[in-house]
Amino acid sequence: MAISSNAAKIAARYKLRIVSLKKAQKKALTRVAHRVNREQQRNLSGSNKANPGSYPVPNRTGNLFRGAGVDMSGQHMAIIYNSAEYAGAVHGGGMATNQGVAYAVKPRPYLTAAAETVEPTKRLAIEYSKAILQ
């Protein structure tokens, strides 16, 4: 009596499924990271005529807005950042300088607020589910 097996066929299907799941995961992470970044930019788009220290952060020169970005470093990681020299002082408060004059800045956590608005963990689950079903 001959024994037959479809194990090779099943293994090939699982390999294809793993590849599609990894693509879905990357797509979901990319979408959520860019969503947080867009929200960060909204928080940096306050009126140019707003008082210093107001929130959303006034967009006077556009440096903070242009400094917002996303680095998709790997399969399981995205970094949402702001490369403007004074981004940390605006986000966390502290001392800043303007034309050589130092002054205190109250915290305006534009990136933290962006993440809280988007709810990345919840959003990742939704986006991953959508990507799997496509």
pLDDT in tens, 2-17: 888 898 899 998 898 8
To the nearest 10 degrees (0 to 180), the angle between helices 110-118 and 7-43 is: 130
Domains in the chain: boundaries = 8-133
Cβ count within 10 A of residue 102: 9
- Torsion-angle region of 14 (φ positive above 0: left; ψ -120 to 50: alpha; else: beta): alpha
Report whether pLDDT(51) > 90. no
The CA-atom distances, in angstroms, between 111 and each of 20, 97, 130, 132 are 31, 21, 26, 29
Cβ neighbors of 134 (< 8 A, separation 6 or more) are 24
pLDDT bracket for residue 75 (50, 70, 90): confident
Report whether pLDDT(95) > 90. no
**pLDDT of the residue at 49:** 86
**pLDDT of the residue at 117:** 95
**pLDDT of the residue at 43:** 95
